[in-house]
Amino acid sequence: MKDKKMEFVIDADRVRAEQEKRLVKLFTELYDDLFSYIEYDTNLREKVRAKHTYRYRTGLPDHFPLPEDEMIFFQEWFAFDYVTVSGARIFDLFVRNNQGVFNRQMLELAGVLMLMHLQPVRITGKNSKHLLVSPAFEAEKEWHVESNQDLAQLNTGDLIFTRITQVGSRRLVVGTPFTIAPEQEAPVLEKLSGIYQQGDSSFRKYMKEFGIDFRKYAL
C-alpha cells in the first residue's frame, strides 16, 4: 500500500511537471507572437510617438536615434506598458486581435501578462539561469525566478527593475532587467517608499505607468 501511494505521488509530480512544461512553451509562443505582431501589425506613427515618449521618460536626447543597447528596453516597454493614442496598451490590442484564435490557456496566460509590471527587487543569489530575489520593500520574502536571459551582468546585491510573472508554480523573469546605479539606490527607494505605503494596488498601478522612468537611474 505504501509503495502504491508513493507511486501515485511520483506520477502526480510528473503530471504537474509536464503541465508546467507545456504552459511555459505556450507562454514562449505567446511572447514570440506578440513581438511578431509589433513588427508587422503596429502603426508606424505609433512607434515614432512611442520613441519620443521613451526618450523623454528616460532622459535621453530627443534628436538622436535610440542607442542599440537601449532598444530592448524600449521594445519591452512599448509591448507591455506604453499607452497608445487610443488609450490602449499594445499587448491589450494584440490579445484583442487574436481573441478568436487563442485557446483558453493562451487567454489565461495573456490575462496574467496584462497585470505584469516593472518591479524593484534585490538579488540575493544567482547562477547561470536562476536568480534569488527579494522585493525591495519586503526583504523577508525570497523568490526563486528563472530566466532565459544572459545573467552575467547581474550581481548579488544589485537592485534591479524587472518584470516577473508566475506560470504554474514557476516564477519567470520576462524580458531584460536593468540595474540601478549604486549611488542612485537611496533616492530611488525613497521615492518609491511613499508610493508603496499607499498599498499594493497603488504601487502596482504606479509601476505599470511610471516604472520605465527609473531607467534614467540605471548603470
Range of 48's domain? 2-113
Residues 108 and 134 in one domain: no
Asked whether 162 and 173 are in contact (CB, 8 A), the reply is yes
Contact in structure between 179 and 153 (CB atoms under 8 Å): yes
Domain limit, last residue, from 113, 130, 158 = 113
**Tens of pLDDT, residue by residue, the chain (219 residues):** 555 555 545 577 788 889 899 999 999 999 999 999 999 999 999 999 999 999 999 999 988 889 999 999 999 999 999 999 999 999 999 999 999 999 999 999 999 999 999 999 999 999 988 999 999 999 999 999 999 888 999 999 999 999 999 998 899 999 999 999 999 999 999 999 999 999 999 999 999 999 999 999 999
Residues 121, 101 within the same domain: no
Residue-level pLDDT at 5: 53
Confidence (pLDDT) at 148: 87
Pairing verdict, β 143-146 and 170-179: parallel
One domain, residues 35 and 70: yes
Check whether residue 143 and residue 163 sit in a common domain: yes
The closest alpha carbon to 163, from 126, 109, 201, 121, belongs to 121
Residues 32 and 61 in one domain: yes
Q: Are residues 92 and 23 in the same domain?
A: yes
Pair (138, 210) in one structural domain: yes
The CATH code of the domain that includes 140 is 2.40.50.140
Query: Which of the 8 DSSP states describes residue 177?
Result: E
User: Which of 137, 135, 213, 147 lies closest to 177, judged by CA?
Assistant: 147
- In this structure, which amino acid lies at residue 124? T
Cα-based torsion angle of the residue sequence 21, 27, 28, 31 in order, rounded to the nearest 10 degrees: -170
- Are 26 and 45 within one domain? yes
Domain boundary among 92, 113, 134: 113
Whether residue 107 is found in the same domain as residue 150: no
Are 133 and 186 within one domain?
yes
155 Cβ contact list (under 8 Å, min separation 6): 123, 126
Name the domain boundary from 113, 147, 179: 113
What is the number of domains present in the chain?
Answer: 2
Residues 171 and 85 in one domain: no
Reported as half-sphere exposure (CB side, CA atoms, 13 A), residue 172 has a value of 22
Q: For residues 118 and 87, what is the distance between their CA atoms, to the nearest angstrom?
A: 20
